[in-house]
């Protein structure tokens, strides 16, 4: 009987070894997957709701009523080099022809027990090609920022759509841009 139990023990040992190796491989796969997911989600500051998709056709605002002639476009000297907007979450965004720059927090707001947002607030910018700059220069004075309160706005070649707490800044030429919410941003 001893001769019969020796092959059985060898099979059992081989089975335990194979199960241990399979378990180690499974843990490795879980670890690598977790790491990849963590690094990919790092572009968003905090988890939150995703921005609402932009409407397929954006309504034109400021179009003349039927039967009226449109007013002439302002001259280049009357066109501002940048315009400021206040998002629904209170962040200030600066829109220029080249890029959109938005605060990543509201100055004076307590972010954690150990951190208060400074003035000028840290910011993030996206250019017309969708390239993100996480350390843009400080924004100039934002006096007279227009409050975004739903709807569609246009400024310096960008369309701004607000919906569900998000403000989406979409470049009219390339379709690239960024979406800002209270504690999150996304570039596209």
The model's pLDDT over 141-179, given as tens digits with 9 standing for 90+, comes to: 777 899 998 889 999 999 999 998 899 999 999 999 999
Range from 40-44, 92-96, 154-158, 183-187 carrying the lowest mean pLDDT: 40-44
- How large a percentage of the chain has pLDDT more than 90? 31
Q: What is the pLDDT of residue 94?
A: 94
Work out the pLDDT band at 79, boundaries 50, 70, 90: low
> Do 88 and 148 meet the contact criterion of CB atoms below 8 Å apart?
yes
CA distance linking residue 129 with residue 63, whole number of Å: 28
CA angle (11, 13, 18) in 5-degree steps: 95
Instruction: Say if residue 137's pLDDT is above 50.
Output: yes
Of the two residues 110 and 49, the one the predictor is more confident about is 110
Q: What is the pLDDT of residue 142?
A: 73
Phi/psi at 130 (5° precision): 90, 10
Number of Cβ within a 10 Å radius of residue 169: 25
DSSP β-bridge partners for residue 177: 170
Answer left, alpha or beta for residue 128, where phi above 0 means left and psi between -120 and 50 means alpha: alpha
């Amino acid at each position: 009987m001893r001769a019969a139990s020796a092959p059985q023990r060898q099979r059992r040992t081989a089975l335990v070894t194979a199960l241990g190796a399979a378990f180690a491989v499974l843990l490795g796969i879980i670890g690598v997957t977790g790491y990849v997911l963590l690094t990919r989600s790092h572009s968003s500051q905090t988890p939150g709701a995703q921005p609402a998709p932009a409407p397929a056709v954006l309504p034109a605002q400021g179009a003349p009523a039927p039967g009226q002639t449109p007013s002439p476009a302002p001259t280049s000297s009357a066109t501002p080099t940048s315009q400021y907007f206040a998002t629904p979450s209170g962040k200030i965004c600066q829109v220029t022809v080249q890029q959109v720059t938005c605060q990543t927090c509201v100055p004076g707001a307590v972010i954690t027990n150990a951190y208060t947002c400074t003035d000028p607030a840290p910011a993030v910018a996206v250019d017309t090609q969708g390239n993100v700059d996480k350390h843009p220069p400080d924004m100039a004075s934002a006096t007279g920022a227009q409050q975004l309160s739903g709807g569609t706005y246009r400024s310096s070649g960008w369309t701004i759509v607000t919906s569900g707490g998000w403000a989406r800044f979409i470049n009219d030429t390339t379709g690239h841009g960024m979406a800002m919410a209270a504690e999150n941003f996304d570039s596209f």
